Amino acid sequence: MLKEAWKVAIEALSWIEVQKLSEQMALSKTIEQLQIEDPNAIRYSYKLVCETVRRKNQIDEFIKQVIKPENLNDFNMGLQSFLRIYVYQTRSSKNWVKIDLKEAEKIAKLGRTILGWKTFRQIEHVLGFLLTQELSIIFEKSNEIEKIALQTFHPKWFVEYCINLLGKNQAISFFEANINLPPDYIRLNTLKSSELEILKNLSEESVKLKKIDFLKHVYEVTGVKKPLTQIASFQNGLFYIQDKASCFAAEIANPKPGMIVFDVCSAPGTKTSYLAQLMKNQGSIYSVDYSLRRSKVWRKEITHMGVKIANQVIADAVTSLPFRFEADIIVLDPPCTSTGVFAKQPSAKWRISPHSINKMAEIQWEMISNCADMVKPGGFLVYSTCSVTIEENEMIIEKFLKENSEFCLVEIEPKIGLPGFRGLNKCQRFYPHIHNSNGFFVAKLMKK
Contact (Cβ atoms closer than 8 angstroms) between residue 151 and residue 171? no
Beta bridge partners of 418: 429
pLDDT at 161 over 90: yes
Would you state the pLDDT for residue 293? 83
Distance CA 235, CA 238 (A): 8
Q: So what's the pLDDT on residue 84?
A: 98
Q: Which residues pair with 384 in a beta bridge?
A: 442
Digit-coded pLDDT (tens) for 426-438: 999 999 999 999 9
Q: How confident is the model at residue 442 (pLDDT cuts 50, 70, 90)?
A: very high
Active site residues: 386
pLDDT at 125 over 90: yes
* Per-residue model confidence as pLDDT tens digits over 399-423: 999 999 999 999 999 999 999 999 9
* Tens digit of each residue's pLDDT (9 = 90 or more) over 312-359: 999 999 999 999 999 999 999 999 999 999 999 999 999 999 999 999
- Does 384 have pLDDT greater than 90? yes
Query: 61 near 92, Cβ under 8 Å?
Result: no
Average pLDDT of the segment spanning 270-284 = 97
pLDDT for residue 67: 95
Whether 52 and 17 have beta carbons less than 8 Å apart is answered as no
Helix ranges (H only) for 254-393 are 270-278, 292-304, 347-351, 354-372
Beta bridge partners of 406: none
Are 336 and 392 a contacting pair, CB within 8 Å?
yes
HSE, side-chain direction, 13 A CA sphere, residue 174: 27
For residue 57, the model assigns a pLDDT of 97
In the predicted model, what is the mean pLDDT of residues 144-164?
98
Segment 138-149 mean pLDDT: 95
Q: Which residues have CB under 8 Å from 109's CB, separation 6+?
A: none
**Residue 34 pLDDT greater than 90, yes or no:** no
Model confidence band, residue 292 (pLDDT cutoffs 50, 70, 90)? confident
pLDDT tens, position by position, 362-381: 999 999 999 999 999 999 99
Q: Of the ranges 136-150, 162-176, 283-297, 337-351, which one carries the lowest mean pLDDT score?
A: 283-297
- Is residue 323 a contact partner of residue 264, using CB atoms and an 8 Å limit? no
**How would residue 263 be classed by pLDDT, with cut points 50, 70 and 90?**
very high
Question: For strand 418-419 and strand 310-314, is the pairing parallel, antiparallel, or unpaired?
Answer: unpaired
Q: What is the pLDDT of residues 172-217, one digit of tens each?
A: 999 999 999 889 999 999 999 999 999 999 999 999 999 999 999 9
The pTM of the whole model exceeds 0.75: yes
DSSP string covering 61-113: HHHHHHHTTS-GGGS-HHHHHHHHHHHHHHTGGGTTT---HHHHHHHHHHHHH
Q: What confidence score (pLDDT) does residue 295 get?
A: 86
Listing DSSP states for 173-205 in one string gives: HHHHHTTSPPPPEEEE-TTTS-HHHHHHHHHHT
Q: What percent of the chain has pLDDT over 70?
A: 100
Confidence at residue 126, expressed as pLDDT on a 0 to 100 scale: 94
Distance CA 197, CA 238 (A): 10
Mean pLDDT, rounded, for 160-165: 98
Domain architecture of the chain: domains with CATH: 2-138 (1.10.940.10), 150-177 (no CATH), 185-241 (3.30.70.1170), 251-447 (3.40.50.150)
How confident is the model at residue 36, as a pLDDT?
82
* Residue 38 pLDDT > 90: no
> How many Cα atoms sit within 13 Å of 254 on the Cβ side?
12
Tens of pLDDT, residue by residue over 129-143, are: 999 999 999 999 899
Residue of 13, 15, 6, 78 lying closest to 42 (CA atoms): 6
Torsion of the alpha carbons at 58, 120, 106 and 11, rounded to the nearest 10:
60
